A and B are shown apart, each in its own frame.
Chain A
Amino acid sequence: MNRQTLGYGLLLALGIAAPILVYPILVMKVLCFALFACAFNLLIGYTGLLSFGHAAFLGAAGYVAGHAIKVWEFPPELGLLLGTLTSAVLGWIFGVLAIRRAGIYFAMITLALAQMMYFIFLQAPFTGAEDGLQGVPRGKLLGFVDLSNDINLYYVVLTIFIFAFWLIHRTIHSPFGQVLKAIRENEARAISLGYDVAKYKLLAFVLSATLAGLAGATKMLVFRFATLTDAHWHTSGEVVLMTLLGGMGTVLGPVVGAGIIVTLQDQLADKVGSLVTVIMGAIFVVCVLVFRRGIVGELGALYKRVIGTR
Chain B
Amino acid sequence: MKRKIMSTTIHAALLSMALAGGQAQAQSGKLSGDMVKIGVMNDMSGLYADIGGPGSVEAAKMAVADFGGKIFGKPIEVVAADHQNKPDVGASKAREWFDAQGVDMIVDVPTSSVGIAVAKVANEKKRAYMNTGSASKALTNEECNPYTVHYAYDTYALANGTGKAIVETGGKSWFFLTADYAFGHALEQDTAAVVKASGGEVKGVVRHPLNAPDFSSFLLQAQASKAQIIGLANAGGDTINSVKAANEFGLTKNQTLAGLLIFISDIHSLGLKTAQGMLLTDAWYWDMNDETRKFGRRFFEKMKRMPSFDQAAVYSSVLTYLKAIQAAGTDDADAVMAQMKKAKINDMFAKNGYIRADGRMVHDMYLMQVKTPEESKYPWDYFKLKKVIPAEQAFQPLSLSKCPLVKK
Contact = CB atoms under 8 A, between A and B. Distances in A.
A131 B181 contact: yes
Contacts of B100: 23
B45 A131 contact: no
A129 B181 contact: yes
A225 B91 contact: yes
Contact of B82 (A131, A229, A273): A273
A122 B209 CA distance: 9
Contacts of A273: 44-45, 82
Interface string A218-249: 00000111010110000000000000000000
Interface in A49-75: 73
B207 to A, nearest CB: 9
B95 A25 contact: yes
B113 interface: yes
A10 to B, nearest CB: 26
A61 B80 CA distance: 33
A4 interface: no
Contacts, number: 58
A216 to B, nearest CB: 13
Interface string B158-192: 00000000000000000000001110000000000
A229 B88 contact: yes
B92 interface: yes
Contacts of A227: 86-88
B126 interface: no
Interface residues of A, number: 19
Interface in A104-141: 122, 129-132, 134-135
A225 B117 contact: yes
Interface string B76-111: 000001100011110110011001100000000000
Interface in A236-290: 270, 273-274
B37 interface: no
Contacts of A122: 180, 209
Contact of A23 (B81, B86, B99): B99
Nearest to B92: A223
Interface in A15-71: 23, 25
B400 interface: no
B125 to A, nearest CB: 11
Interface in B98-150: 99-100, 112-113, 116-117, 120
A225 B1 contact: no
Given A73-B1, A131-B112, 20 more contacts: A23-B100, A25-B92, A25-B95, A122-B180, A129-B180, A130-B113, A130-B209, A131-B113, A132-B87, A132-B88, A132-B117, A134-B87, A134-B117, A223-B91, A223-B92, A225-B88, A225-B91, A229-B86, A230-B88, A270-B81
Interface of A: 23, 25, 73, 122, 129-132, 134-135, 223-225, 227, 229-230, 270, 273-274
Interface of B: 1, 44-45, 81-82, 86-89, 91-92, 95-96, 99-100, 112-113, 116-117, 120, 180-182, 209-210
